[in-house]
Structure 1
């Protein structure tokens, strides 16, 4: 659709808006109390029509929503009205709504918001319908909706104009309502298990808690650079030192890295820390959180994922990292020459790199995609886990797990390292060779000082909320479960119009 056509349609709707105002009606609506969700109205049971008999009057109802379809002519009009719970048909007759109501009907467009008072009943064809007795205008849509209400089909436009995507694509709205249910369930489970929700800084003087490139900002008054957090971990552990024994936080973290179907630079995590626990306690907690979420959104443990089905029935298997590497890479991790040869065959750089870093890259290349899951991968090489307690039985290994489902990492957890001397040594060894712009390129001395006040032995857990929602709600891209994913800004209205017409724009 050309810019001129869009302007023309908007002008027609703007004229209708003026005429609505001329009727003495506020075209932007007012408070509309006591309306019921359409799903609740549909759950009512009005009398069924009996052939040859006058229908009994149904219950009086009041609804509000957006006009999605319109048909009819003469003195009778049918509308489909939708709110965020359901849709329902509305019958409007001139006799029933009077001259004033009928004057408004002529000015209604698809996309407008209206309130309807009426009686619930059935048409002769048996369709549940609200028979209107009064209309209340609640808002004018000046922009025409997608043609024929098929909804936005161009993926980029759906992400860019989420406000249209939500009201034209019911499955998109249900996805985000499902996401809210999952997050609400997380909070409920955590509260039931004695955890308290806290908030920690999102702007930090030292970026830490994960290996990632941070976003940098500047505080003018203090004249210092700050980092948008890449993880809340080190602050949450400070709370363990302070005596808050079970804490969690659900919030945004920021990593200045690529954009892909599995990664948005701004994403949501839940991190939790439990004093006197370990990584086994975190496995139990992870399983409980995800299984409770499945129960809350419904659909059972066997869930569709694209063309596959994933069975989340607990308990989930726990597999050792090195055993999986032997199985899928076909090498003995203790045979470093064999590991190097296999890595080089896969074009993984080995020169001058630490043994366990090479093993980590080899694991990523050969094992992760083979993990159908859900499966807990446990006991990682200690050298790649600088915040994790070592296994007493084998200090080369760290008490860490990652949860994988169909090759996607959903959760990461440790038995937390609480030895301040070892933590300082590991920080220093990790900092060696770090690029200035990378995270953890600066020692967090205050965190080490905090550990010297005695942090209790603890288990810690991080779960990626966005990726979990992708899997449980069967959405192939992280952008489908993030309301407003990062996009390249559009430079003009014409480019926005081109995208709206389905022309592909490369934003990455």
Structure 2
């Protein structure tokens, strides 16, 4: 029998760095009067996003067995608090995404999520920059992130406008750069393949990058807007440092009818792909009409720790990844 390895996969310095970061984050938000909150990890409804798989759990309520879902994000419950008058809030919590494992992934990970009523995405970028100057200035000095649109990142690296590109354009570009996977008629799949292999790895090396204005099909729970070229885009940004995506922010959609239609379209696609059709979060949909205009962001704590400690693998900053939990 092989010897059981009970020790953590990270060293003591990484554990100490995590504790120090939590203290920094809590002080950061306390100074800005952003309240720390806690919401349930298990929910009756799960995320409908076709590219995310929720972890299911069986539990009994009143003696009746029910299927619930471990959160992929605390977003839905936090928005219910916002609609109830909480004001600005943040949460540090565990989230779960089934079968996501690798150098940058673990199916259980730690997320920092916060919401700012009345903040624009630009306001939120400034606040994220302030947070980075608290947590990683020792590596980079004073941080002033670059803002780059998704469209221009594609055009700079692949001479292709993804907002206008046809399925054939995307397939031909994949073949041109040696990405010869057959994704059928999945236009967004080809776009994501090009982004993950040809664009993302180059982002955020000179300075952190806020990547903005995603294709409207990637709006998820964000509003859409018209960009400077008159094209429809999703009002959201992602933060990249050294080719690593650390955070995802939205100008939050508060139209319940539009969000319901997006959820239903997701579930239709799930059914088409043979995936589990998810129950809709009716609590969230009921709360949206009372939710204030706001911007919100989710930031991966474990990935930020990779940057802080200059580690290349997630297992080097978490104690017990899935394989050893």
Please report the TM-score for the alignment, with normalisation by the length of structure 1: 0.57
Q: Equivalents in 1 of 2:323, 2:250: separation in Å?
A: 34
Q: Residues 309-349 of structure 1, C-alpha deviation per residue, up to 9 Å, x if partnerless?
A: xx363211010101010111232332323223113451244
Report the equivalent of 2:221: 387
User: Secondary structure in 1 aligned to 2:233?
Assistant: strand
Q: 1:362 to 1:455 in 2, by over 3 A?
A: same
Query: How big is the shift at 1:486?
Result: 2.0
Q: 1:438 to 1:366 in 2, by over 3 A?
A: same
Gaps of at least 5 residues in structure 2 are: none
2:157/2:199 contact within 8 Å kept: yes
Q: Residues 57-90 of structure 1, C-alpha deviation per residue, up to 9 Å, x if partnerless?
A: xxxxxxxxxxxxxxxxxxxxxxxxxxxxxxxxxx
Query: How big is the shift at 1:488?
Result: 5.2
Structure 2 counterpart of 1:331, from 156, 160, 163: 160
Gaps of at least 5 residues in structure 1 are: 4-155, 167-171, 304-310, 490-508
Q: Equivalents in 1 of 2:319, 2:158: separation in Å?
A: 38
Query: How big is the shift at 1:350?
Result: 4.5
2:44/2:281 contact within 8 Å kept: no
Q: Equivalents in 2 of 1:258, 1:461: separation in Å?
A: 21
Report the equivalent of 1:192: 31
Please report the TM-score for the alignment, with normalisation by the length of structure 2: 0.88
> What does 1:326-475 align with in structure 2 at a 5 Å threshold?
326-333=155-162, 334-336=164-166, 337-345=168-176, 346-353=179-186, 355-371=187-203, 372=205, 373-393=207-227, 394=230, 396-434=232-270, 441-452=278-289, 454-475=290-311
Query: How big is the shift at 1:356?
Result: 4.0
Q: Equivalents in 2 of 1:363, 1:265: separation in Å?
A: 22
Q: Equivalents in 2 of 1:447, 1:344: separation in Å?
A: 42
Q: Residues 238-274 of structure 1, C-alpha deviation per residue, up to 9 Å, x if partnerless?
A: 1111111201110100111232121111110001011
The answer to whether the aligner puts 1:485 opposite 2:321 as a matched pair is yes
Q: Equivalents in 2 of 1:259, 1:287: separation in Å?
A: 29
Q: Equivalents in 1 of 2:73, 2:220: separation in Å?
A: 15
Query: How big is the shift at 1:443?
Result: 2.1
Structure with the largest fraction of helix: 2
The answer to whether the aligner puts 1:203 opposite 2:42 as a matched pair is yes
Q: 1:438 to 1:410 in 2, by over 3 A?
A: farther
> What does 1:33-48 align with in structure 2 at a 5 Å threshold?
none
Query: How big is the shift at 1:196?
Result: 0.4
Greater relative contact order (CA < 8 Å, ≥ 6 in sequence): 2
User: Secondary structure in 2 aligned to 1:191?
Assistant: helix
Report the equivalent of 1:161: 7
Q: Equivalents in 1 of 2:72, 2:275: separation in Å?
A: 11
Q: 1:340 to 1:215 in 2, by over 3 A?
A: same
Query: How big is the shift at 1:383?
Result: 0.6
Q: 1:363 to 1:180 in 2, by over 3 A?
A: same
Q: How many residues align?
A: 312
Report the equivalent of 2:72: 230
Q: CA RMSD in A?
A: 2.4
Question: Which stretch of structure 1 is more off in the superposition, 456-465 or 471-480?
Answer: 471-480
